[in-house]
């Protein structure tokens, strides 16, 4: 049975592995996330400036506490190489309680209660 937690999973994509790794390291270093995983390449299809495009991208999946989401999004928007970066958050509705506790603990610090 699923239960609501105060943890979210955030996804974004960038145009290269180095950029994805830079974002992943940055969010963990700033305690905006407990964990960030980089995978790719993936092929993205999208419409931009009235044209359908297809590009290779790298995905960054980030786990954070829900109360850190606004700060995480602000950081990603500032650090991201895209004009309009994909940043989507999905609530985690269950999982290993010990892991979820770890996510919350690792996103504390720097004045966060």
pLDDT per residue as tens digits for the range 89-112: 999 999 999 999 999 999 997 544
Tokens for 22, please give them.
């830079």
Tens of pLDDT, residue by residue over 26-53, are 999 999 999 999 999 999 999 999 999 9
Tokens for 98, please give them.
């010990």
Do the Cβ atoms of 71 and 32 come closer than 8 Å? Answer: yes
Instruction: Choose among 29, 34, 28: nearest CA to 7.
Output: 34
What gap in Å lies between CA 69 and CA 48, rounded to an integer?
26
pLDDT value of residue 111: 47
**Helix H or strand E segment including 101:** helix 97-106
Q: Is the pTM above the cut of 0.85?
A: yes
Map out the domains of the chain with their CATH numbers. Answer: 1-6+14-53+68-113 (3.30.70.120)
């Amino acid at each position: 049975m699923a239960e609501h937690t105060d943890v979210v999973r955030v996804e974004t994509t960038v145009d290269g592995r180095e950029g994805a790794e830079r974002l992943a390291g940055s969010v963990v270093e700033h305690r905006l996330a407990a964990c960030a995983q980089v995978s790719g390449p993936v092929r993205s299809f999208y419409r931009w400036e009235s044209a359908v495009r297809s590009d290779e991208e790298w995905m960054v999946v980030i786990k954070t506490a829900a109360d850190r989401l606004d700060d995480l999004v602000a950081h990603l928007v500032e650090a991201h190489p895209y004009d309009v970066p994909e940043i989507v958050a999905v609530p985690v509705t269950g999982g290993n309680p010990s892991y979820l506790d770890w996510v919350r603990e690792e996103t504390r610090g720097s004045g966060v209660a």
